[in-house]
Amino acid sequence: MERHTLLTDEVKQLVERWKDKEGNLIMILHEIQNHHGYVPRQVALDVSALLDIPLARIYEVLTFYNYFKLSAPGKHRISVCMGTACYLKGAPELIKEIKNILHIEEGQTTKDGNFQLNVVRCLGCCGLAPVMMIDDKVYGKVRKQDIMDILSSYVKE
């Protein structure tokens, strides 16, 4: 409840600042994304009401640009490379395994907020394909059967 009020105040201020400017919807969404790391649904609803823009139009914008995220960032960001080398060396299998284990889709965060799954382009170490990163750590020549161990090391205390 308190969070909702805070967000609404923040959105009101943003709308006030941008309402007469061109491209205001994008600018407001950008500021929200920068600040929170995603655009919460409540913000989309608030922006819709305050700017009198249909919610569907706001989601059109949010889903068109990769930059915008619709769910809160996870504590650990998993980035699986789907560049050509990694793709050919089995990256799709790694992604499938991660999805099965964590029960999330690309771009989503686990319910406990611990992991977020992202699919990215070449990470610049194709010789190690298939490659994934968790936060800043690079894992090379990853096999499907390694995934569980790798993920487990991020849930231990």
Binding-site ranges for ligand FES (CB under 6 A): 81, 83-86, 122-126, 129, 131
* Distance from C-alpha of 118 to C-alpha of 134, rounded to nearest angstrom: 10
User: Least Å distance between CB 133 and ligand FES?
Assistant: 10
Which lies closer to ligand FES via its Cβ, residue 74 or residue 83? 83
Strand order from edge to edge, sheet including 115-120: 115-120, 76-81, 132-134, 137-139
Which lies closer to ligand FES via its Cβ, residue 49 or residue 88? 88
User: Least Å distance between CB 120 and ligand FES?
Assistant: 8
Which lies closer to ligand FES via its Cβ, residue 28 or residue 128? 128
User: Least Å distance between CB 141 and ligand FES?
Assistant: 11
User: Least Å distance between CB 7 and ligand FES?
Assistant: 38
CA angle 65, 118, 3 (to 5 degrees): 70
Residue 99 CB: number of other CB atoms within 10 A? 14
Q: Which residue is nearest to ligand FES (CB)?
A: 83
Looking up tokens 């009198």, which residue turns up? 52
* Distance from C-alpha of 131 to C-alpha of 85, rounded to nearest angstrom: 9
